[in-house]
Structures are given as structure tokens and as C-alpha cells.
Amino acid sequence: MQAILGATGTVGKALAAEFGKCGTKFRVVARSNEKLRRDFDRYGDLVEYCAADLENPKAAADATRGVDLVYYTVGVPYTNFALHPKLTRSALDAAVASGVTRFVLVATVYPYGIPRAQFVDESHPREPYTFKGRMRKEQEDLVLAAHGRNGLQTTILRPPDFYGPESELSYAADIFKAALEGRAANVIGPIDTPHEFVFVPDVARTLIALANNEAAYGSAWNLAGPGLITTRRFAEMVFAAAGKKPRLRVANKFMLQVMGIFKPMMREIAEMNYLWTTPVKLDDSRLRQLLPDLHKTPYEEGIRITLEEMRTAKRSV
């Protein structure tokens, strides 16, 4: 049995979609049983449900009992990143006690901090200077330190910003919504620096390939996008695919800080503005050597699929 912890998030849903295509049974774990039933009822008998708050050791034990493989995709509010290491530690302890053999973490580029090199590979120092980066580094350290405990093998995947179907919380989400609604999209500036986006189904497929490769464990791996692009160009492609003229409302760091006086979420986003001024451009040549069949959906195709699925979802409401 394999379990998706944090299943109602974007990556969790993408993993479930891949399992559904293959007819693979899986357990979904999240705090809300209502959301679990809403999001995964379509998979019928393939799904086993487990509503659990991972802060509770007993609930974490229930979530991992009888499981061989854990995909850890848990998200937390941007205003409460201290939960990341806390929840991860609880999940790891439960996994070790339950005899789980494989644990795969979906991470971020945050632990790298400001890049020292034009392209960042896995040998790049992890030097986070933001609070969120430090919490994510602590999370990674916990996962890597757990490798070898009671037979547990652990690995980490670090993708860039993602986009795609059911990616409501992604940075790019409002670009797609605005294009379909014919309004201006809210984006973070600067918008002409190199950036990377990855199609979320590609993240799910990469996680599955990583989980099934023994050589992947005991290490962390970068996953780059299909190529560098700017936020402006990405948005232009989305609006063009939707048959609309691009309209962007750009917020720089100062504007985010001002808005943060009234909205804590904006203050938290301002802390990470360096990702747009000095972007982390990933080198994933090591991953491509490990997974020679690694597929990255071109931006044009991923954007088209995302818009089609968003239109379909809107019509079905």
C-alpha cells in the first residue's frame, strides 16, 4: 500500500490521478474527511481514506500503518511555516514505527537561499536566510537523517513553481483565472527576470519514478522546468491561449510590504521576493541521468491542458 500524506493539495491530487490511470490502490491522508471524499470519490474502490491530523502521534500512526511507501506532500499556511518540520517529524516517527520502507518528500528551492551560481545543482550550499527557507531546510534535514532508521529509505524532490489543473495555490494560478475571466492578473514583480514553471502532472510522474528507483534514496534531487521563461512571457502565452489580450497587475516588494500592513499573507510573500529578483535556476542533469525517460511538458501544451481542464471544471459546477 502507498499513502499520500497531504493528499488534498495540488501534488497529492496529481499523484492520485496517476494512480487512477494505472489502477493502483492508494491511501489518501488529510485533516478533512469531507475534502478527501470530495476530491477522491471519483477513484472508487482504488482509494482508502484516512482523515488524520499529523500533529497527533496516534493519527500519524493510523495514517502510516500497513503502508510501504509514503509520498509526503503536506502543505501548510504561508503564515505558519514552523509547522513544516513539526509535521514532518511526526510523520517520519510514525513511518519508522510502522515499518514503512520508502518515504518521498516534495520540497522546494527555498533552502538554497540566494543562488551563488547561474544554475543551481544539488551540490550548491543550502544557505536560507528567510524564515521559510530555514523551516524547509530543517524539514529536509529531518528526512535525510531518517534514512536508514528501521529500514526506512528516504529521498527528496525539489521542483520549481508549478502550474496545472487544480493548482489553486500556485503562484501562476491567478494568471489562468484572470485569462479565463477577462481581467488583469495579479503577479509578483519583477516580471522580466528568468523564471521556471513545471507542469504539476510532470511532478507527480517524476515522484513515482523516483520512488521506484532504488538509487534515488538517501539523497535529494532537483527537477527543473522545461526551460527558462519570464513571468511576462508565461502570462502572455496563457492569455493568448485563452483568446484574450494580456493584462497584468504587478506588485513589487515595496507594494507587498505595504499591503502586508493589512494582510499578513502579503507580508509573508514579500519575504520571498528574492526568488524574482535573484531567481534560483535549477540544474537537474543529475536527475536526468538517473531517470533518462524524464518527461517535461512544453509550456504551450501544459497551458492548453490547464485551460481546457479549468473550463471543463467550471462547466460541471
Look at residue 171 and tell me if it is in a domain. Answer: no
The answer to whether 218 touches 155, Cβ cutoff 8 Å, is yes
Q: Tens of pLDDT along 145-193?
A: 999 999 999 999 999 999 998 888 788 999 999 999 999 999 998 999 9
Percent of the chain with pLDDT over 70: 94
Look at residue 243 and tell me if it is in a domain. Answer: no
Look at residue 175 and tell me if it is in a domain. Answer: no
Lowest mean pLDDT among 38-42, 170-174, 301-305, 310-314: 310-314
pLDDT band at 268 (very low <50, low <70, confident <90, very high): low
pTM: 0.96
Pick from 114, 161, 113, 151: which is nearest to 133 by CA? 113
Look at residue 26 and tell me if it is in a domain. Answer: yes
| CATH number, domain containing residue 133 | 3.40.50.720
Lowest mean pLDDT among 201-210, 236-245, 262-271: 262-271
Lowest mean pLDDT among 34-48, 117-131, 266-280: 266-280
Look at residue 74 and tell me if it is in a domain. Answer: yes
Look at residue 47 and tell me if it is in a domain. Answer: yes
Provide the pairing of β-strand 161-163 with 197-199.
parallel
Helix, strand, coil fractions of the chain, as percent rounded to 5: 50, 15, 35
Give the residue-averaged pLDDT of 59-85: 96
What kind and span of H or E run contains 230?
strand 229-230
How many structural domains does the chain have? 1
What is the pLDDT at residue 269? 75
Look at residue 236 and tell me if it is in a domain. Answer: no
What is the pLDDT at residue 63? 97
Look at residue 183 and tell me if it is in a domain. Answer: no
Range of the domain at 140: 2-162+199-225+280-296
